[in-house]
Copies of this chain bind each other. A is one copy, B any other.
Amino acid sequence: VEPALDELKRRLGEIADLERIQSLLHWDLEVLMPPSGQDARAEQLSTLESILHDRRTHDRIGELVEQLEPYAKSLPHDSDDACLIRVTRRDWERERRVPTELASELEGAAAASYRTWVRAREESDFGAFRPSLERMLELRLRWVECFAPYDDPYDVLLDEHERGMRADRVREIFGTLVPELLALVNEHASDEEDDVPAGPFPIAAQEALSRELVERFGGTWDAFRLDPTVHPFMEELGLRDIRLTSHYRESDLTALFTAMHECGHGLVEFGVNPALDRTPLCEGASSALHESQSRLWENVVGRSLPFWRWFYPRVQQAFPDVLGSAPLDRFHRSVNRVRRSFIRADADEVTYGLHIVLRFELEQELVAGRLAVEDLPEAWNSRFAELLGLEVPDDRLGVLQDVHWASGLFGYFPTYQLGNVLSVQIAEKARESIPDLDARFERGEFSELHDWLRENLYSLGRKFTPAETIERVAGGPIDAQPYLAYLRGKLDTLAEA
């Protein structure tokens, strides 16, 4: 057993190193790289990806997990080694389904398609993007075929990001959400001008406030960075090398929420038990669980009144001319305002779910072959009008707004909304253990919450399936009701005030 386990860990360690290197290549590309470096970087990414794919699908890994199976069975279900062998077998079997040529074709086409999308979006020209999208969809469907037989092709897509999740389960959860969200929007959406001034908020001060938030939430600068970029994201380059990014605009304070959001993602990675380092278990358990944490810190904490009781005076101090005379309640209302709008990434907590539902529906139609790519803008605009009550004026504000499809990512969007739902379930569980959470937020104390989340969620990494992990941390399966109650409670309180 020992030599086989050592060899497996050595091989997995090298794969983990190469994945972190890949993350650095992406991070640098988005944050710093001089623009003309693009071609060389594409070559580097493609070379690295082919090495990674060869290693991940190497025969030897299959032999080793086979050989280690009896050992794994002899261990408790939650032992690190048992989990490692279980997850490795599953990853390996999945990766092996996809021929190397298809994997590298997808990678190459995604890079080209991304560039086409950037230009098409700028010019709001869906026609220019259409051939790329058709190509990505075709490649992704060939990829789905590698996993035949399946009940629903969409299950295959979901499984990539949310192991074990199924389309019918998502439909069920979203089926509960949609009428309630529509009712909340009808009741609370407002088209009023915001009554908090639109800046200017000098960027240096926004950056300082963002850094203060990361520190307070538990990030330490010996292990974290926070850098500006165009489309914010987080990359883990090592258990103690967490790269957060944000985007600053002088006209609003969105960057503060971005910092909290990316910090949440970072804390998930930072909190993995170091014993799992350099293994496939050393990351968040799924996309939805990751997103649950970015949203927990951004929304459940970062849009709450107790949080702003602590933080608003600091923000006022940073921008005395702009906010000096705007009272706390007005500010707090403005960061929770429900408003019908076009861009998902800027949407409030209530309309956000409707943006996701739209994408989920359209993706299913595309994947099932019931909707042609050329008819996508019309389908988008018509369903958008039904869900959000707005006429989409151009494709930049519509079907071209997100990068996901351009990169061949189908089946990812639902995990955002599942993450929102989970964020409330998990926060409530934490609140059971730490009843004075709000009082602590009012004092700017977040370490008890962070400790609880690390112990009950982050430390587990990817040891268990998403469903098992959710069961452990939230005490039950995904459930839309606590999320809806949270939204209703918040909006009613705001309406009464």
Q: Which residues of A contact B (CB under 8 A)?
A: 13-14, 17-18, 20-21, 24-25, 28, 32-37, 39-41, 43-44, 46-48, 51, 220-225, 237-242, 277-278
Contact = CB atoms under 8 A, between A and B. Distances in A.
User: Most chain-B CB neighbours within 10 Å: which of A24, A47, A224, A278?
Assistant: A47
A13 B43 contact: yes
Given A39-B238, A40-B237, A41-B238, 20 more contacts: A14-B47, A17-B43, A18-B47, A18-B48, A20-B44, A21-B21, A28-B28, A33-B237, A34-B221, A34-B222, A34-B225, A34-B240, A36-B223, A37-B223, A37-B237, A37-B240, A39-B240, A40-B238, A43-B278, A44-B238
User: Most chain-B CB neighbours within 10 Å: which of A221, A238, A278?
Assistant: A238
5 contacts: A24-B25, A32-B225, A34-B225, A40-B239, A41-B238
User: Most chain-B CB neighbours within 10 Å: which of A37, A46, A224?
Assistant: A37
Nearest to A221: B34
B278 A241 contact: no
Interface of A is mostly: helix
Contact of A47 (B17, B41, B223, B238): B17
A427 to B, nearest CB: 28
B17 A241 contact: no
A31 B453 CA distance: 32
A332 to B, nearest CB: 33
Contacts of A240: 34, 36-37, 39-40
Contacts of A36: 220, 222-223, 240-241
A49 to B, nearest CB: 11
Contact of A51 (B20, B41, B51): B51
